[in-house]
Amino acid sequence: MLIPVKMLCVVSTDGRLEPVRFKLWVEDEGNVTIHVDRIMGYRADALGINVICGAVLRDMRRRFTLRYNLKDHAWKLVDMV
């Protein structure tokens, strides 16, 4: 799953990208805004950065993996559990 998302993030004092909220298109609902309330980890490679974070979606706690592509400067939703 690689779904493009609109991302609002901040850069921490140590240079890390910290997602604050993102929007994605959900069939039958349109654009849905998800507010990130926990960052659980980072994984970086030569092509980009994966950010594992938590948020509440439809009254259920979910874990999201978001990927920032260094070449395209774009965010994508990789995984949602």
Give the pLDDT confidence of 14-63 residue by residue, as tens digits: 999 999 999 988 888 889 999 999 999 999 999 999 999 999 988 999 99
* C-alpha pair distances (Å), 35 with each of 24, 44, 52, 56, 71: 12, 23, 13, 8, 26
pTM of the predicted protein model? 0.90
**Which residue type is seen at 6?**
K
| Joined tokens for residue 9 | 């993030």
* pLDDT tens-digit readout, 35-44: 999 999 999 9
Provide the domain count of the chain.
Answer: 1
Give the pLDDT score at 29.
Answer: 85
Residue 21, H or E segment: strand 17-26
Judged by DSSP in three states, 71 sits in coil
pLDDT interval class at 6 (50, 70, 90): very high
- In terms of residue numbers, what domain contains 8? 3-80
Q: Do the Cβ atoms of 42 and 16 come closer than 8 Å? A: yes
